[in-house]
A and B are shown apart, each in its own frame.
Chain A
Amino acid sequence: MANGTIAMTDLPVPKAEKSFFEQSTNKHSGILSWLLTTDHKRIGLMYMFGIISFFLVGAIIGLLMRLELLSPGGKIFSAQTYNSLFTLHGVIMIFLFIIPGIPAIFGNFFLPIQIGARDVAFPRLNLLSWYVYIVGAILALTSLFLPGGPIDTGWTFYIPYSVRSGSNVSLAIFAAFILGFSSILTGINFVTTTHRLRAPGMSFFKMPLFVWATYATAWIQIIATPVIAITILLVIIERAFGVGIFDPALGGDPVLYQHMFWIYSHPAVYIMILPAMGVVSEIIPTFARRTIFGYKQIAYSSLAIAFIGYLVWGHHMFSSGQSDTSNWIFSLLTFLVALPSGVKIFNWVATMYKGSIDPQPPFLWVMSFIVLFSIGGLTGLVLGALATDIHLTDTYFVVAHFHYVMFGGTGTIFIAAFHYWFPKMFGKMYNLKFAKIAVVTYFIGFNMLYFPKFIMGYLGMPRRYYDYLPMYTPYQRISTYGSWILVSTLFFIVGYFIHAYFRGKKATSNPWGGVTLEWHIPSPPPVENFKVIPVITHDPYDFSQLKEMKDE
């Protein structure tokens, strides 16, 4: 075995070994073998079913909102129903889909494998965090049907309306409180796993960049989430007992609420985007057949983004009445985030330069991400500048910006990650031609849906209105047509994945020619991933291993 090859000699997992689908980790079989499992891969898949279901529900609610906005005049829903719809869309997409999305599914499934471990550090805690997620989700759903009706405050639960609204605010935000614990438990698990369970030879700077990104994210989950927990409890106390903490009528400070909300929720934006950036750093080297450019800089930039992410929350509050001193300090700090983000984008592009690019679907999804995320990121600078922000606050421009970042960024990579790892997770290959068509229709639908919102926002269209002036009709129409294309594409994607699972061709253990550890084991992986824990001597993206991997 050549110098630097991952020492896999005594680790050929026999071809006949049962996969984690076939072998239970407990004495049960059938559904109980899943519900009581401690296997990180099965838990990842259980998260997958929950998260994708909520994603599709959130998407359908978005579709209904767009339908309402097809023509001016408010014909389909009442204003109150529309208020509930955009709140539910936000709560579901943020708390049930995008925050847990990549870490809970792909982090659970691949973080242990990529560092050469058999499972996470606390497998039972891992299962508990899934149950906590489900309990939170059930509470959120229950709040819809109890007297008082669905929450109508917007996903930010701003004071004073959230204290005075007659809808089921307390239960809905308590659900977010519970979901936060799931996030914290997952974070603790990932930090401990990364520190304690790395295979021999895998120093921090030999870890794949997805692990780095998930590790940085885990720290944000642990440190930031308790802030939203205590904020939510304070709102509940204020609603239940009339204690004047935030409501100005009771002597409270509503701007304090916004501080506390965004002290969590801005770092949460990085909980959403960092793991996605990690996935990009996996996909680009694999399909450019070239080691990643600037490995250390990308790793450090994850930590830098995680850290600076704590210091910029005030940019959500430029028009809230916070002090002018705060405004310029937060504006300045906000511009700093562009630096580590730029480091990543430039390094990804430099990785592709003179690479041997194989434009398979996961790579095409990443290309789509780079365009959409760059638009989202750069329009963020427009909002980070004080003068322009005053004009654009609470308009469609903000809505367009964060959909480009969250959906165009994290959402696109969520789909890219499925295209990249689906063969490994399920041992089946999907239809590549369908996948390539989906990238194109997704990109067209996405831009039709969200780009007109930049223009409408600039012209003054406020967000969260169920009706609009006739001057916006052409833009609103294009946007609604885009939503039809986009949502059809999402169902098309789910459709060809389901088809691939049941009817797809069997996937080989390394269909893309990747070199990180997950591509060294069978598809789907066996229960404890590795028979013998590998000894790592290679850098994570050293493609000289490929030939030896083929010979093994």
Chain B
Amino acid sequence: MEANNKEQHIGYGTYILVWLSLLVFTSITVTVAGVNLGRYTLFIALLIAAIKSGLVINIFMHIKFDEPIFKVFIALSGFTLFIVFILTFFDILYR
């Protein structure tokens, strides 16, 4: 239950900061979508999405303060997703 106690230490300030940064990242995504960066458009969109989900998973979902086993499972799921992306790109990039 120590983990639960830690949750109490995140102040509203942190939540608001994370929320604001999510908004900033969203506006960057929208702005970048209007700029022609060729094939990098997709990678930048994915990179921003990855940072955003990292913030949500760690702070909003409290995974950062939880037991290691949850981190292991989320990392495994993330790894699987990563491989799925790579395999899909073998089609998109070489078609």
Which A residues are closer than 8 A to B by beta carbons?
195, 222-223, 255, 259, 263, 307, 310-311, 313-314, 321-326, 329-330
A329 touches B80 (CB 8 A): no
A314 touches B94 (CB 8 A): no
Shortest distance from the beta carbon of B24 to any chain A beta carbon, whole Å: 25
Q: Complex formed: what's the CA distance from A194 to B87 in Å?
A: 31
What 0/1 readout, one digit per residue, does chain B (75-95) give for beta carbons within 8 Å of chain A?
A: 001001001100110111111
Which B residues are closer than 8 A to A by beta carbons?
69, 77, 80, 83-84, 87-88, 90-95
Assuming the A-B contacts A223-B77, A223-B80, are A311 and B95 also in contact, with contact meaning beta carbons closer than 8 angstroms in the complex?
no
B80 touches A310 (CB 8 A): yes
Partner of A323, one of B69, B77, B84, B91: B91
A311 touches B83 (CB 8 A): yes
Partner of B90, one of A195, A321, A326: A326
B80 touches A259 (CB 8 A): no
Q: Complex formed: what's the CA distance from A7 to B93 in Å?
A: 60
B84 touches A314 (CB 8 A): no
What residues on A are CB-neighbors of B88 within 8 Å? 259, 263
Of the A-B pairs whose beta carbons lie under 8 Å apart in the complex, a sample of 22, sorted by A's number, is A195-B69, A222-B77, A255-B95, A263-B88, A307-B80, A310-B83, A310-B84, A311-B87, A313-B87, A321-B95, A322-B95, A323-B90, A323-B91, A323-B92, A323-B93, A323-B95, A325-B90, A325-B91, A326-B91, A326-B94, A329-B87, A329-B90
Interface of B is mostly: helix
Q: Give the total number of A-B pairs whose CB atoms are below 8 A apart.
A: 39
Shortest distance from the beta carbon of A159 to any chain B beta carbon, whole Å: 16
Interface of A is mostly: helix
Q: Complex formed: what's the CA distance from A329 to B93 in Å?
A: 14
A326 touches B87 (CB 8 A): yes
What are the 9 closest A-B residue pairs judged by CB atoms, nearest first?
Answer: A323-B94, A325-B94, A326-B91, A323-B95, A322-B91, A326-B90, A323-B91, A325-B90, A223-B77
What residues on B are CB-neighbors of A255 within 8 Å? 91, 95
Q: Complex formed: what's the CA distance from A18 to B56 in Å?
A: 49
| From B84, B87, B91, residue with most partner A Cβ within 10 Å | B91
Q: Complex formed: what's the CA distance from A326 to B91 in Å?
A: 5
What residues on A are CB-neighbors of B90 within 8 Å? 323, 325-326, 329
Partner of A263, one of B77, B84, B94: B84
Q: Complex formed: what's the CA distance from A103 to B92 in Å?
A: 36
A307 (CB) vs chain B CBs: closest residue: B80
Known: A259-B91, A263-B84, A323-B95. 9 other contacts (CB 8 A): A255-B91, A255-B95, A263-B88, A311-B83, A323-B91, A325-B91, A325-B94, A326-B87, A326-B91
Q: Complex formed: what's the CA distance from A313 to B94 in Å?
A: 17
A330 (CB) vs chain B CBs: closest residue: B87
Shortest distance from the beta carbon of A135 to any chain B beta carbon, whole Å: 27
What residues on B are CB-neighbors of A259 within 8 Å? 88, 91
B77 (CB) vs chain A CBs: closest residue: A223
| From A259, A307, A326, A330, residue with most partner B Cβ within 10 Å | A326
| From B90, B92, B94, residue with most partner A Cβ within 10 Å | B90
A314 touches B83 (CB 8 A): no
